[in-house]
Structure 1
Amino acid sequence: MSLSMLPSPAAEQVRTLAPMLDVVVPVYNEEIDLEPCVRRLHEHLRTAFPYRFRITIADNASTDSTQEVARRLAGSLPGVVAVHLPEKGRGRALKHVWTHSDAAVLAYLDVDLSTDLGALLPLVAPLISGHSDLAIGSRLARGSRVVRGAKREFISRTYNLILRGTLSARFSDAQCGFKAIRADVAERLLPMVEDTGWFFDTELLVLAERTGLRIHEVPVDWIDDPDSRVDIVATAIADLRGIARLTRALGSGRLPVAALRRQLGRNPLPVAGVPAGLTGQLLRFAAVGVASTLAYLLLYALLRNGFGPQAANLVALLATAVANTAANRRLTFRVRGSDGAWRHQAQGLVVFAVGLGLTSGSLALLHLASDPPTIVELGVLVVANLVATGVRFLLMRGWVFRAAPPSFDQA
């Protein structure tokens, strides 16, 4: 029996009939705005979009006549389908529809159509071509034209600053209701996204960024809807809780970012003669080393007069050794979770002993030769610490954290 690698005629037919783009319109109690939105969107796609498309109305637990309006539109407009979910949550609606869609590219937009539809093709084009993995409309990118009140502007910019400070996010606008993702990427990421509400977008984008995926940003024209149903205070509180939860998940290693990177083929490109991840590890190790050295020198200067040079060196080096090992474990070598933490600290103390030998030996040789002033001692210790730092990196990479698989997620 031989197995053909060519797709079956049935599979080819399914692929031909499947739309290139599935645009989801998540709604909750939008009986007034839903019909004009879908008709306008349908007309735009019919006349300006060169691929087969579908519009999916995702009604999440509406209590008015939204469901009836959605069914009527699905019955009268080709390419429009209606889905009803018994539970609320924009994220829940998007995850449900995207998970069950057969389209190659999945998108969504808000029912108020605050974003100009002229940006829809530029949004999805890099995903159709395969160059990018996700795409977002941005009201904060250069070239955007935005009309909204000062309150909404302040909240939006503050939220994105918080994301940059807490999750090191580099995308410019997490909250614009105008996004798209390739279906093969969504298949990998959606099971990892927990939020079912407004934080869904942010969680998806942070996870995508940490796994090294390309996020394409499109400047948009955006006019605020004065009749928005969003509860700003409740949404802000939920977003802050989501940030805290996601920070813990990333810090503990509960989210398998490194594994996703490998599965998606987004590890850094190899450089001949340079071990994978070495450059990034050196840069992060250097940053941790600078901070540790400054802390060490400060402690030594404070303790030197009261304890003497050798005792001050011992206490200062020991006090910074534990913090240094923990910081390098988390930041330099990207080890998550508590597994092996005590073993790493014990091995780090051995590395500390090597550093202690180098610095203490340098001090002993210096005092055998003369009775130097404190500034000379500090200079010698800086040089000794530089040597000890190099030895420490080699020991940590080749021994302490050698068993940990290489990880390339962003800080």
Structure 2
Amino acid sequence: MNEQNAGGARQRSVEIVVPVYNEAHVLAGSVGRLHAYLESSFPFPFTITVADNASTDATWQAALDLTQRLPHVHAVHLDAKGRGRALKHVWSRSEADVVAYMDVDLSTGLEGFLPLVAPLLSGHSDVAIGSRLHRQSAVQRGAKREFISRSYNLLLKAGLAARFSDAQCGFKAVRTEVFRALAPHIEDTAWFFDTELLVLAQRNKLRIHEVPVDWIDDPDSRVDIVRTALDDLKGMRRMFKQTITGRARIAAVPHRTRTTTPVLPAGAPATSAEHLEYAS
């Protein structure tokens, strides 16, 4: 993945994880669209990893087919569910400089991806998130989801003094070395994983970059809103206890280092005991 430019310098690279559970009906179309976009518009070496969270339909076979058809696509299969579990597994083992993820429905506009990862590739920031609550974001979703999202983020601000605006948007990136330092301290393996990552980053004085996004709600979302909300509240209580006891502070978090690698304009040519299966 780590290629060299014309001058012989190593180019910084990105690995994008697409976590999936029973998404055989949309996987090929979504990953194909993402792959085509990145090949034509993304100026850094990249890999797309489809992370199958113990699907019971034909998702794994669809992922294998994509690895045969598209040169930058890899796949990993886990025998246990959990988006956080899949991200933690792939991100911890990545050889890329920056790791990211996005939802398979591609609800977030892909035009926001380079602005998301550029501050991490340049060394300016440590974590980057897409924010649907930014005043410049363009969001299409129902009133119920809007209310839940804003209420959750208000709770984070009140209970955990969160300074980031949208913990739940499925469009995030982090410097790989930073994630490796934080990973052993992230306990959640499901939806609270994102919040836990962000709270730990903030508690350890890491820089979180926010990007306004264009976002269209997916009516076929598989998220159980009630169960997820209850799990989030439990996670917040656990994080609050960690904060007041000082256990949220991590000694070995790496500091930012500026790189001389230029961020090229969009459109420039790209020069657990669980059983796991890989394809690449």
Paired residue for 2:194? Answer: 201
The partner residue of 1:259 within 244, 251, 263 is 251
The partner residue of 2:145 within 137, 148, 152 is 152
Distance 1:144 1:177, change over 3 A: same
Q: Which amino acid aligns with 2:72?
A: G
Q: Which amino acid aligns with 1:141?
A: H
Q: Secondary structure at 2:25's aligned position in 1?
A: coil
Shift of 1:19: 6.7
8 Å CA contact 2:102–2:171 kept in 1: the answer is yes
Q: Secondary structure at 2:135's aligned position in 1?
A: coil
Root-mean-square deviation (Å): 1.9
**In 2, Cα distance between equivalents of 1:110 and 1:80:** 16
Shift of 1:32: 0.7
Are residue 179 (structure 1) and residue 195 (structure 2) matched? Answer: no
Shift of 1:254: 2.8
Shift of 1:258: 5.8
Q: Percent of pairs identical after alignment?
A: 63
Are residue 94 (structure 1) and residue 84 (structure 2) matched? Answer: no
Q: Identify, as 1 or 2, the structure richer in strand.
A: 2
Paired residue for 1:246? Answer: 239
8 Å CA contact 2:53–2:78 kept in 1: the answer is yes
Q: Which amino acid aligns with 2:83?
A: R
> 4+ residue stretches of structure 1 with deviation over 3 A?
15-19, 263-266
Are residue 111 (structure 1) and residue 101 (structure 2) matched? Answer: no
Q: Deviations over 1:303-329 (max 9, x none)?
A: xxxxxxxxxxxxxxxxxxxxxxxxxxx
**In 1, Cα distance between equivalents of 2:169 and 2:116:** 13
Q: Deviations over 1:247-303 (max 9, x none)?
A: 112222333x1635xx5348xxxxxxxxxxxxxxxxxxxxxxxxxxxxxxxxxxxxx
Q: Deviations over 1:177-212 (max 9, x none)?
A: 000001111111111111000000000000001111
Q: Deviations over 1:147-195 (max 9, x none)?
A: 0000000000000000000000010000000000011111111111110
Distance 1:132 1:265, change over 3 A: closer
**In 2, Cα distance between equivalents of 1:196 and 1:169:** 21
8 Å CA contact 2:3–2:11 kept in 1: the answer is no
Unpaired runs of at least 5, structure 2: 257-280
**In 2, Cα distance between equivalents of 1:264 and 1:86:** 32
**In 2, Cα distance between equivalents of 1:78 and 1:20:** 15
**With structure 1 as the length reference, what TM-score do the two structures score?**
0.59
Are residue 80 (structure 1) and residue 73 (structure 2) matched? Answer: yes
Distance 1:258 1:106, change over 3 A: closer
Q: Secondary structure at 2:124's aligned position in 1?
A: coil
Q: Which amino acid aligns with 1:218?
A: V
8 Å CA contact 1:19–1:54 kept in 2: the answer is no
**With structure 2 as the length reference, what TM-score do the two structures score?**
0.86
Paired residue for 1:38? Answer: 31
8 Å CA contact 1:22–1:105 kept in 2: the answer is yes
Paired residue for 1:65? Answer: 58
8 Å CA contact 2:160–2:240 kept in 1: the answer is yes
The aligned runs of 1:343-362 (5 Å cut-off) are none
Q: Which amino acid aligns with 1:178?
A: F
Q: Of the two structures, which has the highest relative contact order with CA contacts closer than 8 Å and spacing of 6 or more?
A: 2
Distance 1:68 1:17, change over 3 A: farther
Number of residue pairs matched? Answer: 252
**In 1, Cα distance between equivalents of 2:137 and 2:18:** 23
8 Å CA contact 2:26–2:105 kept in 1: the answer is yes
**In 2, Cα distance between equivalents of 1:16 and 1:102:** 17
Q: Identify, as 1 or 2, the structure richer in helix.
A: 1
Q: Which amino acid aligns with 2:95?
A: D
Q: Which amino acid aligns with 1:259?
A: A
8 Å CA contact 1:29–1:62 kept in 2: the answer is yes
Are residue 226 (structure 1) and residue 219 (structure 2) matched? Answer: yes
Shift of 1:113: 0.5
